[in-house]
Structure formats: C-alpha cells, structure tokens
C-alpha cells in the first residue's frame, strides 16, 4: 500500500513533466494514462483504507475520510483527462495554440496532483500548503484562455482565494499554538496528535482556529458569503478545469475543514463546530438557490449549483447523526460525478452552439444524440432525482437531520433543494428541448434520441411538445457529437451515479462507517 501512495504522488507529477516536453500526442496519452491509473490506484487503496489507517514516511497518511475525497478526485481526474482529448483537439473556435494546449495539459496534471496530495498528508501545515498549491495552479488554468472574462475571473479568484487561505494559515498557526500547550514546542502539527490530546487544548484558541478555518478554507469551498470568486472562475475556465474545480477542488477544501472539525469536536464537543457549519451551510444553500433562477450563463448556473451542494455538505455535518454523516460522504462522491458530468455536458453544448448564454443554446437534444440526454441526466442527478446517487445521499442527510432533531433545518433543506431542482431544470430543459430559432435553421427530419432515459421522459411530458415537431438545425449545426472522447467519460459518470444511487458497493459502506466514526458520528 505504501508503494501505491508513492506512485499516486509521483505519477501526476511525471505526467506534467512529460506534457511540458513531449509532443502533444504523447502529452495527452500520458495525461489519460496518469488519470486512469490514479483512479485505479485509489480503488486499490480502498479495501485497505476501509479497515485500517495507512501511515508512511511521517507525513503521509491515508484513512477512510481521506480515501473518500481521493476517490472523488481520482474519478474526475480520469474522466477529465479523457474528455480533454476531445476538448483540446480544436473544433468549435479554431485550433488552440500548441503552447497553450501543452500548458493546459501540464496544468491539469499538476492540479490533480495537488488535490490528490492534500488528503494524503498527515499534517495540517502540509495540508494548507497543498491547498495553496491548488490555488496558484488553478488560477493560472482559469486565466489560460486569455480573454477579458478569463483575466478578470482569474484576478478575482487569486486575490480572494489567497486572502481566504491567509486566514486558513492563521487557523493552522492557532492549531499549532493550541497543540504546543500540551505537546510542547516541537511537534509537527499532525492532526492525529492534536486529536489525541484534544481534551486538554485551550478552548479560546480552538474556537478561533475553527472559525478561521471555516472562513478561510470555506472561501475555497465556496461557502456564502465568501463564495464570490466561484461563479466567475467556474464560468470562465476551460471546461475540463471547471469540472475539476467544481467536483474536486471544492471537496478538497471541505476535507480540510473536516480535519479542523475533528480536532474542534474532540476539544470542545460537537455543539460549537456544528453551529458554525449550520450557519454557513444554510446561507450557502438559500442564497445560491435564489441565484439558480434567471441565470443567463450555463456555466454560472452550474457554479451556483456547486455553492448549493457545498451548503448541503456543511448542513449535513452540522446534523451530526451517523446517517447524515454517511450521507455527506456519499454526497461528496456523487456530486463529483454529477457536477463533472454536467460541466462536461455543458462544455459539449457550448462547443456545438458557440455560446455560453442559456438563451442562445437551443435544440440540444436534437443536435447531440448522446451528450444531450446525458447532460439532462446529469442535471436531474444534481437535482437529486431518484435513482441517482445524490438522491440517496440527500435522503440520508435529511433522515439524519430528522433523527437528530434538527427539524427546521431539515425542512429548509428539502424546500431549498426542491426549489433548486426547479431552477436548474427550467433552464436546462429550455436549452435541450426548445427548437433552434427559425433564422438559424434548416428543416431536417428529426431522428429520435437514442439514449432515452425514464427521468427525461417524465419531464419531457410536462414540457411543450417540441419533440413531435420537426427539429430545426442550422446548416452548420448538423446532428452529431463533436468528439467521442467527450462522450465516453460522461457516459461512465452516469453509470457511476446510477450505481451509487441504486446499490453502492459494500466496500463503500465499510469505508463510510469508518469515516463516520472519525467524524464523531453517534456522539451527539
């Protein structure tokens, strides 16, 4: 297992180096291989991590909690690496320059590397460093398209995220201070050490540490009111980067908060940290839900949906019941798959129609025989429609909330999630099901969508009957996928979502129950 951890740390780095030097064909092969192999290695780690903690070389440590987050990152790394082969081979708006493409390939690998490394450290200081590294790499990736919007988004992102991480650094320093009271001046900020002596930590310092950590890492996680960089960066970044940002980076920041939560809960009892998370969670959920209505840009729409889901995660932790905690962990995985799918699907739509404006995207189901239905499924999954993984996870969170007596918050969660589903699906069904406007069109016989799905059928029935008419397509817009590379990972993601929703594998249950114990599940 130690070798697996080492390879996981070194392989993305190696791939990044190859991308900077080798020809583009080699670069994309290396990235795809590194991505898929990383996911396979995390899977190989899974059975061991479900039963014991694996520590290595003093600074590396993998337990059940970190494995959950590595799974999310590994899965998206693999999906995005394959998707990018199609995304970066030109198409829509001209051939991107080979230097920029090479930088993007290298950046993707480095970004994934930092996000895999963060959950593998045993040490709060290195955790901070890894997350800071994700910021600098992803800021450059956001800016890489070199448009006005990208420059603006990258600047806002780097300023806000760095300011947030400065607060997180303060939190790390106060963690050291608290620990030094008990463990002496020379210990290296391992969180297991801190948890072991938690009962004797000074309370004031721990309170300050936790609030700073939630505010600081919460900035990167996208909690309201420190989420303001998030919609900009997600909408202006290249699609593979958006998918990684949303599905993986936010989760990794959440992971950092969870480590501080563990320490705080052990030191102060559960009430204080849960209340802090509840406040941020409810604010994120409610505000982002409102932004889902009337959103004009499809990627901003998905970005606000991410803020919403981060709010759900925070609320789930604040419930504290074992069912809710297990739900949160499942939610992390399912959200990674669903949001990755949604961004990748939206990327295909944007590529096909040449616009991110929701009002300009029409006829998705007619134009894209595979990506259209898959995008629809991803959005339904995001809205927590059964039988997908997010339905199961949100159900568990709500059930846990009711069991722990948080009736108001649980009710609010149900209402907000339903409203968010309505907001999301209203925009998305318009993009996919309304026909293209007349002036762009050429009447072509409609071919029935191949990848039909029951949830799609449900909603299609409620929509105006555009399906029965002849669908309209501009001469340039013929029916067909831009690239098979951009379909396969999304299809696999959809299968994974279904699997997580219908029957999650037993090893995941073992993993979750171990991680729930780490988060103090049961002690309420």
Partner 1 sequence: MSGIVAATVLASTVAAPSALAGGSNVIAVGVLLAEFGMFRQALLRDQVRLYAAQSALISVLAVVVAATRNLPDLYALAALSFALKTVIVPVVLRRMLRGIGAIGGDPRWNDIAGSHALSVAGAVLIAIAVAAFGFFTVAALGLSSPVLPATALSISAAVVLVSFVLMIVRRDVISQAIGLLSLENGVSLTALVVAAGLPLILEVAFLFDLLVAVVVFGLLIRVHHGRAESMSTAELTSLRG
For partner 1, the binding residues (CB under 8 A) are 123, 125-126, 129, 132-133, 135-136, 139-140, 143, 146, 148-149, 151-156, 158-159, 162-163, 166, 169-170, 173-174, 176-177, 180, 185-186, 188-189, 202, 204-205, 207-208, 231-232, 235-236, 291, 295-296, 300
Q: Closer CB to partner 1, residue 419 or residue 518? A: 419
Q: Closer CB to partner 1, residue 299 or residue 339? A: 299
CB 404, CB 273: distance < 8 Å: no
Task: Give the separation between CA 312 and CA 384, rounded to whole angstroms.
Answer: 12
Structure tokens at 92: 């829509």
Collapsed DSSP state (helix, strand, coil) of residue 472: strand
Q: Closer CB to partner 1, residue 56 or residue 177? A: 177
For tokens 């396969």, the residue is 488
82 C-beta neighbours (distance < 10 Å), count: 24
- We find the least distance from the C-beta atom of residue 36 to partner 1, in angstroms, to be 29
- We find the least distance from the C-beta atom of residue 230 to partner 1, in angstroms, to be 11
- We find the least distance from the C-beta atom of residue 162 to partner 1, in angstroms, to be 5
- We find the least distance from the C-beta atom of residue 143 to partner 1, in angstroms, to be 6
Q: Closer CB to partner 1, residue 91 or residue 202? A: 202
| 176, containing H or E segment | helix 148-183
Cα dist. 366→65, 147, 362 in Å? 42, 30, 9
CB 180, CB 231: distance < 8 Å: no
Among residues 232, 243, 238, 231, which one has the least CA distance to residue 91? 238
Q: Closer CB to partner 1, residue 296 or residue 503? A: 296
- We find the least distance from the C-beta atom of residue 235 to partner 1, in angstroms, to be 7
- We find the least distance from the C-beta atom of residue 150 to partner 1, in angstroms, to be 8
Q: Closer CB to partner 1, residue 236 or residue 366? A: 236
Cα dist. 490→105, 300, 345, 475, 493 in Å? 19, 20, 7, 27, 5
Task: Give the separation between CA 463 and CA 468, rounded to whole angstroms.
Answer: 12
- We find the least distance from the C-beta atom of residue 381 to partner 1, in angstroms, to be 25
Task: Give the separation between CA 230 and CA 220, rounded to whole angstroms.
Answer: 8
- The dihedral over CA atoms of 363, 366, 372, 377, expressed in degrees to the nearest 10, equals 90
Q: Are strands 472-473 and 60-62 parallel, antiparallel or unpaired?
A: unpaired
Q: Closer CB to partner 1, residue 1 or residue 129? A: 129
Q: Closer CB to partner 1, residue 13 or residue 414? A: 13
């Amino acid at each position: 297992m130690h070798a697996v951890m080492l390879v996981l740390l070194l392989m993305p780095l190696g791939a990044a180096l190859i991308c900077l030097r080798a020809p583009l064909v080699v670069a994309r092969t290396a990235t795809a291989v590194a991505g898929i192999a990383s996911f396979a290695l995390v899977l190989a780690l899974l059975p061991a991590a479900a039963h014991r903690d694996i520590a290595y070389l003093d600074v590396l440590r993998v337990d059940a909690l970190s494995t959950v987050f590595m799974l999310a990152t590994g899965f998206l790394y693999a999906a995005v690496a394959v998707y990018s082969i199609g995304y970066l081979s030109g198409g829509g708006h001209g051939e991107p320059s080979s230097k920029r493409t090479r930088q993007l390939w290298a950046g993707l690998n480095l970004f994934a590397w930092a996000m895999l490394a963060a959950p593998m450290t045993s040490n709060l200081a290195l955790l901070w460093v890894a997350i800071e590294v994700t910021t600098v790499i992803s800021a450059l990736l956001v800016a890489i398209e070199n448009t006005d919007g990208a420059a603006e988004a990258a600047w806002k992102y780097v300023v806000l995220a760095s300011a947030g991480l400065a607060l997180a650094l303060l939190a790390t320093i106060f963690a050291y201070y608290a620990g030094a009271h008990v463990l002496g001046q020379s210990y290296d900020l391992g969180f297991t050490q801190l948890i072991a002596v938690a009962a004797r930590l000074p309370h004031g310092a721990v309170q300050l540490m936790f609030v700073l950590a939630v505010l600081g890492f919460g900035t990167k996680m996208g909690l309201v009111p420190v989420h303001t960089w998030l919609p900009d960066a997600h909408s202006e970044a290249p699609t593979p980067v958006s998918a990684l940002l949303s599905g993986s980076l936010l989760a990794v920041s959440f992971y950092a908060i969870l480590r501080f939560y563990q320490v705080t809960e052990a030191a102060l009892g559960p009430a204080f940290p849960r209340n802090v998370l509840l406040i941020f969670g409810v604010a994120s959920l409610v505000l982002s839900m409102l932004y889902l209505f009337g959103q004009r840009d499809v990627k901003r729409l998905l970005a606000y949906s991410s803020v919403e889901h981060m709010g759900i995660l925070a609320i789930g932790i604040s419930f504290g019941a074992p069912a809710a905690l297990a739900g949160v962990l499942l939610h992390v995985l399912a959200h990674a798959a669903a949001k990755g799918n949604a961004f990748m699907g939206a990327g295909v739509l944007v590529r096909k129609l040449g616009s991110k404006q929701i009002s300009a995207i029409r006829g998705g189901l007619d134009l894209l025989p595979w990506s259209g239905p898959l995008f629809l499924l991803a959005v339904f999954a995001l809205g927590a429609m059964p039988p997908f993984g997010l339905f199961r996870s949100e159900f568990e969170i709500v059930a846990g909330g009711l069991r722990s007596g948080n009736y108001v918050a649980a009710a609010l969660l149900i209402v907000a999630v339903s409203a968010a589903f309505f907001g999301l699906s209203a925009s998305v069904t318009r993009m996919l099901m309304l026909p293209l406007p007349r002036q762009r069109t050429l009447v072509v016989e409609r071919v029935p969508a191949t990848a039909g799905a029951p949830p799609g059928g449900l909603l299609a029935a409620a929509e105006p009957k555009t399906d029965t008419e002849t669908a309209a397509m501009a001469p340039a817009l013929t029916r067909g996928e831009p690239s098979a590379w951009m379909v396969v990972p999304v299809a696999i993601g959809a299968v994974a979502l279904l699997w997580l929703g219908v029957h999650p594998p037993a090893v995941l249950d073992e993993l979750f129950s171990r991680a729930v114990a780490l988060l103090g599940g049961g002690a309420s």
